[in-house]
């Protein structure tokens, strides 16, 4: 019974992230297929004008028509990046997280061995991997039914099997590194690096005169190299991913059993170290606030470091690669976008794909960036108050000489700091990509779009903070903020197409983030002020709600 409870607890703690990811992907698929449904043959031919390198990297396959093209792109890039990103966070925290927070001793004090503990954690990882892939697969067919399209010729089940094998490989490797090093950061960094580098390596190397054979070094080649979406399952490729993935999980149990535990060692934060140094203690206090406020902020930021690592590295790699990619495809983009109907360009906020700034906006800042950074903010905010209550640690926290108001403010400030860190890394990635590709993007405008991204993400996070403070239920906070993020994207991008309802787009928070196209036009200070004021209002409302409610733990 004790053994089974660890397995079930791991699933209970992580199932919501998998479910939200699957729902977001299904909604994105639906919007994409619905928007592209009316595309004509001229536009399909325009896709064929794109360089083969870009089409291969993004998975565009025009031979199956518009629906098949959208699905081929989704199952080849966005779906695996999103799902595996969620699984990396879970795998990195599975064992190393227990050591980091000092709970491993409590678990091992019960009648179970180390190998058995790892087996339960690995079993939960495998279960959630299978559930996530099944939800993605079911979402594909739900979208096809909703839009009334024909799914013949698309091997969606085959793509899902390859997705599960890739997730097992990268997630298993992440799990092994965490079990071996007791570091969630090292584990998350390893998994994220393998995911992003292999995505670009397997996609771009075959397009060079010398790199074709080297593409087989990367795991992503065995996920998509045989084109399972068009050709069915390549079982040898699946075995080459799933076999090592399972071996990583077995090896994790072996290395975990043979090393000394590092209980709580990773909890020392940079802020803690600065505070201990006489030269920097004053600066540390100014950043984090006074003692108790600072410790709450440091603890909260420390809890989110794994997700920050995944989001930050992903955004940096994408920003760095988009510049060189545009250098190869930019001359075709102007011809391509002319063939697209207005509904399609609305999906990327009306950006001019023929310019470096427009291409960056469409590929990163229209969908991927807001989702990635806002998910970081939502995760922190939903756990900030409601998560403490769920884990029965809020009572311990409030037993210290700290008021409820200061707890809310410290948690909110921690979220702001982590969002700012993610956007700073994004800035560095975009600057690197602009330099590598010779795009000549304005440094001020890069700062503008990253600032807009940060302020928007903080706003979404404060909504989650308020719902958590009001209800004490972290799932309600996550769901409400996620739905707001998705709805605001749809309202801001699609309502302007209607002459009747277009004015209502200004009711969307996403409008104040993206409609100004800050990467092209710089800061929109009025829009930033609106989002900042709204965020402050939600923080104030969170304080009000949290102070007046009976706590659950």
Same domain for 252 and 128: yes
pLDDT tens-digit series, residues 263-275: 554 445 554 555 5
Which of the two residues, 143 and 493, has the higher pLDDT score? 143
Looking at the domain assignment, is residue 35 inside a domain? no
Assign 114 a pLDDT band (cuts: 50, 70, 90). Answer: confident
Sequence-distant contacts of 205-213: CB under 8 A, at least 24 apart: 206/56, 207/51, 207/52, 207/53, 207/56
Same domain for 295 and 247: no
| Both tokens assigned to 245 | 């993935």
- Residue 402's region, left for phi above 0, alpha for psi from -120 to 50, else beta, is beta
Percent of the chain with pLDDT over 90: 29
100 touches 264 (CB < 8 A): yes
Q: Which domain holds residue 305?
A: 289-553
Which of the two residues, 292 and 47, has the higher pLDDT score? 47
Residue 319 CB burial class (10 angstroms; 0-12, 13-18, ≥19): buried
Give the pLDDT confidence score for residue 275 in this predicted structure.
Answer: 53
Q: Which residues of 150-184 are buried (b: 16+ CB within 10 A; e: fewer)?
A: ebeebbbebbbbbbbbbbbbbbbbbbbbbbbbbbb
Alpha-carbon distances of 425 from 62, 83, 195, 196, 432, rounded to whole Å: 35, 22, 18, 15, 11
What is the distance in angstroms between the CA of the first residue and the CA of the last residue of the chain?
25
Pick the last residue of a domain from 266, 281, 312: 266
- Cα 272 from chain centre: 27
The stretch 373-384 carries a mean pLDDT of 88
* pLDDT at 451 > cutoff 90: yes
Give the pLDDT confidence score for residue 292 in this predicted structure.
Answer: 46
Same domain for 378 and 470: yes
Pick the last residue of a domain from 266, 299, 328: 266
Same domain for 244 and 293: no
Looking at the domain assignment, is residue 243 inside a domain? yes
299 touches 388 (CB < 8 A): no
* pLDDT at 401 > cutoff 70: yes
Which of the two residues, 157 and 96, has the higher pLDDT score? 157
Same domain for 341 and 398: yes
Using alpha carbons, select from 8, 167, 156, 14 the residue that is nearest to residue 83.
167
pLDDT tens-digit series, residues 127-178: 999 999 999 999 888 888 887 777 677 888 899 999 999 999 999 999 999 9
Q: What total number of domains does the chain contain?
A: 2
The stretch 91-111 carries a mean pLDDT of 74
153 touches 68 (CB < 8 A): yes
Using alpha carbons, select from 418, 387, 400 the residue that is nearest to residue 292.
400
Using alpha carbons, select from 136, 139, 185 the residue that is nearest to residue 161.
136
SS3 content of the chain, % helix, strand, coil (to 5): 80, 0, 20
The stretch 508-530 carries a mean pLDDT of 92
Same domain for 529 and 424: yes
Same domain for 360 and 262: no
The stretch 539-552 carries a mean pLDDT of 88
Using alpha carbons, select from 68, 39, 26 the residue that is nearest to residue 345.
39
Please tell me what DSSP assigns to residue 214.
G
Looking at the domain assignment, is residue 272 inside a domain? no
Same domain for 252 and 298: no
Looking at the domain assignment, is residue 518 inside a domain? yes
pLDDT tens-digit series, residues 45-83: 656 655 555 555 555 666 666 677 777 777 887 788 888
Helical packing angle, 443-471 and 368-382, nearest 10°:
30
390 touches 371 (CB < 8 A): no
Looking at the domain assignment, is residue 355 inside a domain? yes
Give the pLDDT confidence score for residue 1 in this predicted structure.
Answer: 40
Mean pLDDT of the chain: 80
Same domain for 308 and 390: yes
Looking at the domain assignment, is residue 293 inside a domain? yes
């Amino acid at each position: 019974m004790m053994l089974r409870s660890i397995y079930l607890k791991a699933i209970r703690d992580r199932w919501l992230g998998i479910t939200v990811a699957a729902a977001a992907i299904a909604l994105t698929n639906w919007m994409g297929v619905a928007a592209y449904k009316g595309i004509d043959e001229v536009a399909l031919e325009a896709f064929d004008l794109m360089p083969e390198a870009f089409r291969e990297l993004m998975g565009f396959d025009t031979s199956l028509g518009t629906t098949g093209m959208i699905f081929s792109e989704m199952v080849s890039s966005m779906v695996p990046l999103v799902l595996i990103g969620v699984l990396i966070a879970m795998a990195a925290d599975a064992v190393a997280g227990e050591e980091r927070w000092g709970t491993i001793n409590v678990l091992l004090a019960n009648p179970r061995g180390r190998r058995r503990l790892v087996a339960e954690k690995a079993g939960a990882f495998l279960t959630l991997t299978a559930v996530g892939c099944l939800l993605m697969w079911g979402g594909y067919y739900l979208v096809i039914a909703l839009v009334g399209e024909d799914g013949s010729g698309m091997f969606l089940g085959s793509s899902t099997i390859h997705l599960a094998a890739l997730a097992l490989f990268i997630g298993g490797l992440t799990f092994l590194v965490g079990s071996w090093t007791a570091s969630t950061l090292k584990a998350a960094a390893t998994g994220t690096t393998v995911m992003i580098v292999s995505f670009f390596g397997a996609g771009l190397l075959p397009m060079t005169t010398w790199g074709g054979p080297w593409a087989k070094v990367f795991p992503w080649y065995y996920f998509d190299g045989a084109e399972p979406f068009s050709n069915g399952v390549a079982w040898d490729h699946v075995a080459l991913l799933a076999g090592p993935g399972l071996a990583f999980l077995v090896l994790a149990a072996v290395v975990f059993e043979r090393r000394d535990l590092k209980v709580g060692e990773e909890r020392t934060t940079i802020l803690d170290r600065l505070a201990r140094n006489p030269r920097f203690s004053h600066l540390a206090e100014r950043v984090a606030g006074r003692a108790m406020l600072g410790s709450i902020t440091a603890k909260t930021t420390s809890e989110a470091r794994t997700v920050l690592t995944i989001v930050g590295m992903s955004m940096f790699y994408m920003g760095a690669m988009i510049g060189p990619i545009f250098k190869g495809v930019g001359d075709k983009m102007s011809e391509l976008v002319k063939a697209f109907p207005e509904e399609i360009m609305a999906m990327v906020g009306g950006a001019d794909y023929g310019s470096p700034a427009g291409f960056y906006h469409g590929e990163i800042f229209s969908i991927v960036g807001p989702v990635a950074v806002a998910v970081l903010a939502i995760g922190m905010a939903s756990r900030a108050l409601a998560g403490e209550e769920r884990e029965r640690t809020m009572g311990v926290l409030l037993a210290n000489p700290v008021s409820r108001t200061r707890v809310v403010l410290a948690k909110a400030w921690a979220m702001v700091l982590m969002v700012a860190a993610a956007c700073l890394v994004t800035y560095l990635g975009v600057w690197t990509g602009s330099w590598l590709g010779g795009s000549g993007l304005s440094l001020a405008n890069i700062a503008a779009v990253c600032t807009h991204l940060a302020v928007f993400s903080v706003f979404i996070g404060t909504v989650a903070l308020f719902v958590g403070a009001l209800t004490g239920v972290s799932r309600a906070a996550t769901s409400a903020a996620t739905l707001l993020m998705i709805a605001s994207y749809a309202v801001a991008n699609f309502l302007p197409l209607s002459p009747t309802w277009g004015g209502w787009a200004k009711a969307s928070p996403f409008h104040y983030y993206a409609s100004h196209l800050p990467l092209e036009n710089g800061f929109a200070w009025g829009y930033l002020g609106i989002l900042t004021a709204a965020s402050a209002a939600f923080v104030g409302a969170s304080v009000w709600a949290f102070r007046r409610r009976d706590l659950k733990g």
